Amino acid sequence: MNRLATNGILKTMNKEQFREALQQNNIILDEKQIHQFEQYLSLLQEWNQKMNLTAIVEEEEVWEKHFYDSIVPFMGTEFETMADVGSGAGFPGIPLSIVWPKRQFTLIEPLTKRCKFLQVVKDELQLKNVNIENARAEDYVKQNRSKFDVVSARAVARLSILLELCIPLLKGKGKFIALKGSAGKEELKNAKPAIDALKVKVEQIKEFELGQEGERTVITFVKTAPTPKQYPRSYSLIKKKPLEETNG
C-alpha cells in the first residue's frame, strides 16, 4: 500500500497552489489549460444554480476537492483511452481531459440534464478529446465491451457494484481505478466474490489525505482474463444481489 505525496494537507487550495502541486508531480500546465480550468469552474458555479451538480462550489474548494482530487489518482498511469462511469458533473473525466489533451475520454452519464451540462463544458472548453454518452454503464457496454485501457468511477456505488459495471468495459490487461474514501478498504474486503467472478486482481492501493475532506483510497485493479459473458447483469439484479461477501 502506497501513500501518495500531495504537498501536505491544505485547508484550501487556490489556482496557484493547484498549479504548483501538479508541477511538483511533473504535470506542467500552460496558460490555455489554466484558462480551461477557470472556464470549467465558472460553468460549474453557473449551472449549479439551475440543477444539483455538486455541493462544492466555493472557488478554493473546487480547485482542491474536484480538480486536484480528480487528477492525483491517475498520476503515473499510462493510457490512451479512458471511460469515466457515472461522470456526473465531469469528475474525474473533464479535469483529466484538460491535463492530457492527447488522450481520449468517454464520459458515461445516465442523467440527460447532466449530459447537457457536460456538452456545454466540452464546447466552451473546446475539448476535442471528450466523448459524452447519455447511457447507463450496463447498457453502454452492450456495444462497447472490452474497449478501454482504463475505466474509472468516483463516488458512484459500492465497490462490488462498481466492479461489475466497469470491468466489462476494459480491454485485456486494462485497469479499473476506483476512487474511494476511507471506506474503500472495507468495501474491498467485501468485494472478493466480485474480484474472483470478474477475473481481475488488485494491482495497487494508494492513500492520500485531502485537506479537511480526510482520507482518500485509490484502488487499481487489472483485468487478468476476459469478463464472463453473463456480466454485467441488469442493474436491478446487481443492486439486489451484489457480488460480495455479505451475501454469503
Rounded percentage of the chain residues whose pLDDT exceeds 90: 79
pTM of the full predicted structure?
Answer: 0.91
pLDDT digits (tens, 9 = 90+) for 55-74: 877 888 899 989 999 999 99
Residue 218, pLDDT score: 94
**Mean of pLDDT over the chain:** 91
Tally of structural domains, the chain: 1
Q: Which three cell numbers stand for residue 125?
A: 472548453
List, in order, residues 6 or more apart from 35 with CB less than 8 Å away. Answer: none
pLDDT digits (tens, 9 = 90+) for 200-240: 999 999 988 766 556 789 999 999 999 999 999 999 999 99
Q: How far is CA 161 from the centre of its chain?
A: 15
CATH number at residue 137: 3.40.50.150
CA distance 126 to 194: 38
Q: For the purposes of burial, counting CB atoms within 10 Å of the CB of 119, is it exposed (0-12), middle (13-18) or buried (19 or more)? A: middle
Rounded percentage of the chain residues whose pLDDT exceeds 70: 92
- Residue 39, domain extent: 2-247
Sheet containing strand 81-85, edge to edge, reads 2-3, 200-210, 214-223, 170-180, 148-154, 81-85, 104-108, 130-133
Q: What is the mean pLDDT of residues 109-132?
A: 98
Q: What is the mean pLDDT of residues 32-53?
A: 94
Q: What is the mean pLDDT of residues 112-125?
A: 98
pLDDT higher than 60, residue 5: no
